[in-house]
Structure 1
Amino acid sequence: MLRTLAGLTARATREAIEAIGDPLRAGEIGVVDHVGGGLARVHGLPGLMYEELVRFDGGLYGIAANLDPDNASVALLGDSAGLRAGSIAHRTGRIADTAVGEALLGRVVDALGRTLDGAGPLRKEGRSAIEIDAPPIMDRAPVNVPLRTGIKVVDALVPIGRGQRELILGDRQTGKTAIAVDTILNQRNQGVTCVYCAIGQRGTAVARVIQTLRDAGALAYTVVVVAAGEDAPGLQYLTPYAATTVAEHFMRQGRDTLVVYDDLTRHARAYRELSLLMRRPPGREAYPGDIFYLHARLLERATRLRDGAGGGSLSALPIIETQAQDLSAYIPTNLISITDGQIYLSPTLFNRGMLPAVDVGRSVSRTGGKTQLPALRDVSGPLRLAYAQFEELESFARFATRLDDETRRTIERGRRVREALRQGEAQPLAPAEQVAVLHAATQGLFDALDVEAVTSAASRVSASVRETCGELAARIDAGERPSESDWQALLDAARGAVRNFAEAGGEPWKPSSS
């Protein structure tokens, strides 16, 4: 009797197992102990790895951000409204990764590669780990190829190279994002793939940038990676690393790439929030002790590879926000020491309408003229000297009652040089046009004009050079150094454009004797 009952039980058990279909698999599950502030504390999961993705019931994902002997802190990567104590957490066995590949061009995604633009799923995607070691030193090449921004003051006085890390900093609402977006717009037909990374920005601000890129046709070669201000801090923390991984995929194929991080101040605040919730010891300004490493390991991935290692490049334009022009604050000093130079935007210049509001005296590029075209390098030397003399004399002139004629002429020319550097948003200039305008300014062709008329005259000069010196302009754009006769031809074209402008405005024009 017992033998018959045991046989029936075994057969019923086998039939029940076969009816399940999928074979049973062993796995680790954990239980949520606490949820709050974008962080979940999970008990269990003894084999959990650092930065492994954790899946919760309902499809919510998180990343293991802190591992303790008896529990783990998981940074949530989405809305935690449906998550509560007692919810089940599952290991995925995957270190955090994101989508990469050609399918991302023209799309808006988050840090995990999930689309946000309503245009459907990605056609075909690869996956790559978000945290990747920076290229070794022996795989790197010198930075000597220019990254053209199309902005006169940047290309002439603060040049950027492909593979360089150039910081953009300034107080809020001084035009930091505008410079970065203009740089992206100028990469059209330059063979540079761009990634715009928005961290903690308002949705309307991000939508405005996307629309600008779309209207200019730049979205076709750009990937937009977004973590909005209302998103979980874990997603904001992960986003710049994901954007770098997207760009690195193209760099490994031998292509030139550009990443804009807008902005790393909010990224640091998101990481500070997570660290305080995980009860890590706070340091200066309540930031954790590894805040420097947070950005160092991110920006160290920007480089130019030697030909034997692929030959591509990854240029980085991180943006940070200062408070009351304080460049000595914790995060600004960290980023200044990590990057290869900085472009500082002055609120004083911005309020006076000097756009872009680049403070030349506080801005620097540590690659120098190595990343400039020969023509721009030739014209930037006299320009930098004249501008430095002007700024020094202008500050002293405020306290002087009488100025000699030479000082007065230097100041007047400096004011016109500064006006010649003024440039509208989304109006990039080719190198030859920049060279013509700046050469005309340093040679005194604008000295006879009113200061307010210099910007319009400079626009006439750039248009005239493109029309009358097309072959010479093409050679300058291609990187050829102008000869003496070429410089004279540029000067003659600029002189004619300024004369026609002055006569059209009813002003007699007298060229400067110097």
Structure 2
Amino acid sequence: MSRHAPDQASVALDALLPRLGQRLARTETRRVSGRVRRIRGLLIHASIEGVSIGELCYLRDPVSGRRVAAEVIGFEEKDAILSPIGELQGLSTRSEVIATGRAQGVGVGEALLGRVISPLGEWLDAAATPPGDVPLREYPVHAEPPAPLSRQLIEQPLALGVRAIDALNTVARGQRVGLFGEPGVGKSSLLSAIVKGSSAEVVVLGLVGERGREVRELLDVQLDAEARRRTVCVVSTSDRPAIERARAALVATSVAEYFRDQGRDVLLLVDSLTRFARAQREIGLAAGEPPTRRGYPPSLFAALPRLLERAGPGDAAAGTITAIYTVLTEGDGTLDPVAEETRAILDGHIVLSAELARRDHFPAIDVLASRSRLMESVASDEHRRDAAKVRDLMARYRDVELLLQVGEYREGSDAATDEAIRKHTEIETFLRQSRDDRSDFAETLKRLKEIAQ
């Protein structure tokens, strides 16, 4: 009996080893770096060593199995402060903290064209996973802007298909522009018109803190199939955590940088920079930063130029990123620190007027309050003369508009003003445009010349 027992044990062990090998092959190996100590508000304090600012970590609860990505944003005594990129439900003090040793990146490639992704790089549309035969490269979310002296010179205009911009506030390839306006003045409609009418090869649309209903409406109703095919959309809705909303603008910029590095002319649209700033405010205040103007922490005024300077022209072998950032204003926009800071950094501003929107004049662009700093560099002499003439006519009409309304202006008082009054309706018709009406750049300049003559 005892002689056969070792043989039976050996047989049982031989049968068990293959199963153990299969189980080990399926086991997820990981390095547990620390534990969650406490969760305070929006942030997580963890006992973890050897991590750095910006490092990506994963929080995993061994009981519920829930796994959440988080970014290291600071330190307090011996604890690391992490901002979760996801919901906190299901996490506890037993949750493990797993350091990855790297900052977060995003997968980029030609396969992204026509797709909708999250700030984590997850595909959100019907094609839930990228095709296996199309490799994606990883680009950093936090990247350095091109060296100033290596950038190409800006020398060519970029047609956006909107007459009020192309004719009177011409945007250049590689320019960065702010789109300023109150809520409800038609920013989203103008952006969809720009996506459809732009001559850019690739469009990257970053929707930061947008309403979920409007995301679907913009993508499936306002954009046609042709526009969708050359557009990459990065979406983070208003219900998502602050770090994810802020990351949407960063990831959209990273995607645009990839296509610029491939030699493409890219149009980057971020809606909105204000919600990016508000997300940064949530993160900064939760981390203990002191509030400054309008409650914004000092770190925001360092983050804004880092983000905005990444757009623009690349080096001689690269393409360009023409960027348009929407900025929400309330009342006197000059008192808004985000609007004030972005005006100082960007290469131009387009102002949307609530008064024009109330008159059903769309796009509600206040031409006289808007300015492209690079129009002088890319517009022809004839174009600049015609634009200056039409601007002068618009300014003269605005000066006497009240007199006309009360019947106090007398025709013949000033020949230039009389011309402005005669051409006012023609100018208004020229500037009005539906979002589905794409205007050819050459035709726009031809009509501008006819008005100016």
From 413, 433, 442, the equivalent of 1:423 is 433
- What whole-Å deviation, never above 9, does each CA across 1:457-491 have from its counterpart, x for those lacking one? xxxxxxxxxxxxxxxxxxxxxxxxxxxxxxxxxxx
Q: Does 1:393 align with 2:400?
A: yes
Q: Report the Cα distance in structure 2 between the residues aligned to 1:85 and 1:289, rounded to whole angstroms.
A: 31
Report the identity percentage.
Answer: 28
Match of 1:260 in 2: 269
Q: Report the Cα distance in structure 2 between the residues aligned to 1:212 and 1:375, rounded to whole angstroms.
A: 38
Q: Does 1:169 align with 2:185?
A: no
From 141, 144, 147, the equivalent of 1:133 is 144
Match of 1:156 in 2: 167
SS at match of 2:335: coil
Q: Does 1:147 align with 2:151?
A: no
- What whole-Å deviation, never above 9, does each CA across 1:152-211 have from its counterpart, x for those lacking one? 110111111111101001000111122222121123xx3521100001011111111111
The TM-score with structure 2 as length reference comes to 0.88
From 40, 49, 52, the equivalent of 2:52 is 49
Give the gaps of 5 or more residues in structure 1: 1-11, 444-514
From 234, 244, 255, the equivalent of 2:253 is 244
SS at match of 2:368: coil
Q: Displacement of 1:292 after TM fit?
A: 1.6
Give the gaps of 5 or more residues in structure 2: 1-12, 61-65
* Residue correspondence of structure 1 range 279-428 to structure 2 within 5 A: 279-307=288-316, 310-372=317-379, 376-395=383-402, 397-398=404-405, 401-405=408-412, 406=415, 407-428=417-438
Which shifted more, 295-304 or 396-405?
A: 396-405
- What whole-Å deviation, never above 9, does each CA across 1:406-460 have from its counterpart, x for those lacking one? 44443232243123211111211102221232233334xxxxxxxxxxxxxxxxx
Q: Report the Cα distance in structure 2 between the residues aligned to 1:283 and 1:118, rounded to whole angstroms.
A: 43
Q: Does 1:94 align with 2:102?
A: yes
From 62, 69, 73, the equivalent of 1:61 is 69
SS at match of 2:175: coil
Q: Report the Cα distance in structure 2 between the residues aligned to 1:436 and 1:259, rounded to whole angstroms.
A: 28
Q: Report the Cα distance in structure 2 between the residues aligned to 1:382 and 1:179, rounded to whole angstroms.
A: 25
Q: Report the Cα distance in structure 1 between the residues aligned to 2:450 and 2:372, rounded to whole angstroms.
A: 24
Higher RCO structure, 1 or 2 (CA under 8 Å, sep 6+) = 2
> CA contact under 8 A between 2:172 and 2:375: conserved in structure 1?
no
Match of 2:4 in 1: none
Q: CA RMSD in A?
A: 2.3
From 433, 436, 445, the equivalent of 2:446 is 436
Which shifted more, 409-418 or 218-227?
A: 409-418
Match of 1:506 in 2: none
Q: Report the Cα distance in structure 1 between the residues aligned to 2:342 and 2:34, rounded to whole angstroms.
A: 39
Q: Does 1:85 align with 2:93?
A: yes
Q: Does 1:39 align with 2:49?
A: no
Letter in 1 for 2:231: T
Match of 2:203 in 1: 194
The TM-score with structure 1 as length reference comes to 0.78
Q: Displacement of 1:290 after TM fit?
A: 2.1
Judged with a 3 Å threshold, the aligned counterparts in structure 2 of structure 1 residues 386 and 298 are, in CA distance, closer, same or farther, namely same
SS at match of 1:60: strand
> CA contact under 8 A between 1:260 and 1:318: conserved in structure 2?
yes
From 222, 232, 237, the equivalent of 2:231 is 222
**Count of residues paired in the alignment:** 423
Which shifted more, 377-386 or 115-124?
A: 377-386
Q: Report the Cα distance in structure 1 between the residues aligned to 2:267 and 2:341, rounded to whole angstroms.
A: 21
> CA contact under 8 A between 1:375 and 1:435: conserved in structure 2?
no
SS at match of 2:123: coil
Q: Report the Cα distance in structure 2 between the residues aligned to 1:215 and 1:155, rounded to whole angstroms.
A: 22
- What whole-Å deviation, never above 9, does each CA across 1:192-245 have from its counterpart, x for those lacking one? 211000010111111111114652421111100011111111101111111111
> CA contact under 8 A between 1:199 and 1:229: conserved in structure 2?
yes
Letter in 2 for 1:282: P
Q: Displacement of 1:28 after TM fit?
A: 4.6
Q: Displacement of 1:21 after TM fit?
A: 5.0
Match of 1:113 in 2: 121
